[in-house]
Amino acid sequence: MHQDTLVLDATYARWGLLPDVSPLAFEAATPEGRPGTVLVVEGDDSRHHPFPPYTDLRWWVLEDWPDDRWTELPEAADVDPPTLQELRPAQYVFEPEWLEEAAPKRPTSPGEWIAYLVALAVLVIVLALGIRALQWSLLGGWWVLWIAPGLFCVIVGGVGLAGHLAALRPRHQSPALAPALGDLNVSCSDQLNIGGLFEVTVHGSPVGDHPLPATVDARVVRYSATDPDALVYMQGTPDLQGGQVTYGLTAHLDRRLAFPLLNDPVPGRWALELIDGSTSYCRIFLQSPPPLEPLLQVYQADKETQITDLLSGGSSELILKAYHGESASSGLARHGAAVYDDDFTDAEVRSVFTVSIHDVVAAAWDNGWIDTVVQPQLAGGDGGICLVYAGNEYRVVDVERYWQQVVYTTPDARKALEAFLVRQPWAQWLPGSAELLAQRTAAGLEDDPQAH
């Protein structure tokens, strides 16, 4: 069974409810190619999927929801972020870990008690037979052979009986001695450098018999009139030297994650927080990071190289090279942290590519690239876009876990290639993709996910 899904629309301050479904993801378009804010949900519907796991995927275009399906959110409480206080404790005792005595489960229901008593009787019989066999072995002669099965039955019966009776003992929970840090001193980078590293050092000392925490967790967070938004989480392990302990924490501040926080019109304050679970026990205010400046491209691949890399799955390589030089690759390390395309905004990624989706299709068609991807039948896997040729017809199939959707069919190999390439992850960044996607999407699909 699935729980209800609550949809919050922050733009219009409203909410809606989808009953008996679980959210999976947001997508830019439906499998039919219809653009919009598309919420993918999973529900239970054995009418359409009569075999396990009985899953039913649905695509909801939120812009199509009628107004009466939305409910306005109440006015947010007037919270003044500057009233938030810094926290700099000299000592902190972490939440204790509760230890439970290991013991068999105590029977509760009548059925469990019957099973418990039957097992108890069997163990008593085994123990009694073992004792009787040992008594026979004392007669000497051939009776001594009973010593081996007698010992076995006594051991099995005795150990089993002791463990079985232990279930009747009351179990107690006792807190372990909580970890603690004394002489707490926290230092961090002077400036939040979005796109770079942020380093935190936590100094402390042991407190009496309390153990040291195995890790110290921290986060960089922005407080505003709404809930706090965490930009990054960090974790450090202890380095004990001369009675003092040091935790070093380092994190890379992703530019793409910081972009919506930097453009939030609501005033806010940035802070570094040490956290114990969901509790913040140390808070240090930080200077707001400067506005996010667009990166300057230092390398531009020619069109032929762009097409070759796109068709070979090297779109991330092109993005990295554009901003980090021709020698950059997916293994590039900047100050010890790997750099991936998540460091770049959508506009910066789009500016890397000077080829259109039609240029890529034309090159792939001229080189016979379609022969390397077409399949006689669907192959197993985690999912993706597949191109199948069967029965004198090409089919472009969107495979997602237990679900398959034919999104385009045609006897024309060129059109099939266009429908396949325009659904690749990198196609969204190329000019002309939106128009081509609309043209190469089947109208009136036999299995409409939103009609379920």
Residue whose C-alpha is closest to residue 4's, from 15, 13, 14: 15
Look at residue 345 and give its three-state secondary structure.
coil
Contact assessment for residue 399 and residue 380, using Cβ atoms and an 8 Å cutoff: no
Residues 6+ away with beta carbon under 8 Å from 278: none
Across the beta sheet with 216-223, the strand order is 229-236, 216-223, 269-276, 279-286
pLDDT at 320: 85
Beta bridge partners of 409: 395
Instruction: Give the DSSP H or E segment for 317.
Output: helix 315-324
Contact assessment for residue 195 and residue 343, using Cβ atoms and an 8 Å cutoff: yes
Instruction: Give the DSSP H or E segment for 436.
Output: helix 433-439
pLDDT at 35: 81
Residue whose C-alpha is closest to residue 405's, from 57, 64, 62: 57
**Cα–Cα distance for residue pair 413/393, rounded to 1 Å:** 9
pLDDT at 382: 63
Residue 245: Cβ within 10 Å count: 20
Residue 293: Cβ within 10 Å count: 9
Beta bridge partners of 16: 7
**Cα–Cα distance for residue pair 439/356, rounded to 1 Å:** 16
Tokens of 88: 């700099």
Residues 178-216 as b or e (16 or more Cβ within 10 Å = b): ebbbbebebebbeebebbbebebebebbbbeebebbeeb
**For every one of its 452 residues, what pLDDT tens digit does the chain have, with 9 covering 90 and above?**
457 788 887 777 788 887 878 887 788 888 777 788 888 887 754 334 444 444 567 787 888 888 888 888 776 554 455 577 889 999 999 988 655 555 567 777 888 888 888 888 888 898 898 898 888 888 888 888 888 888 899 888 888 888 878 777 766 555 568 899 999 999 998 888 888 889 999 999 999 889 999 999 999 999 886 678 888 999 999 998 888 999 999 988 888 788 888 878 788 889 999 999 888 999 999 998 888 788 888 889 999 999 999 999 888 888 888 888 887 765 544 433 444 556 787 888 899 999 999 999 999 999 999 999 998 877 666 678 889 998 889 999 888 766 778 889 999 999 999 999 999 989 999 999 999 998 998 765 443 333 32
Residue whose C-alpha is closest to residue 445's, from 388, 392, 407, 394: 407
Contact assessment for residue 23 and residue 43, using Cβ atoms and an 8 Å cutoff: no
Backbone CA torsion sign across 299, 303, 306, 309: negative
**DSSP states of 37-91:** EEEEEEEE-TTT--STT-EEEEEEEGGGS-GGG-EEPPPPP---GGGPPPB--S-
pLDDT at 44: 55
List strand residue ranges (DSSP E) for 104-215, in order: 173-175, 180-188, 197-205
| C-alpha distances out from residue 278 to 212, 214, 217, 225, Å | 19, 17, 10, 19
pTM higher than 0.95: no
Q: Compute, in degrees rounded to 10, the torsion defined by CA atoms 372, 377, 380, 384.
A: 60
Is the preceding peptide bond at 53 cis, omega within 30 degrees of 0? yes
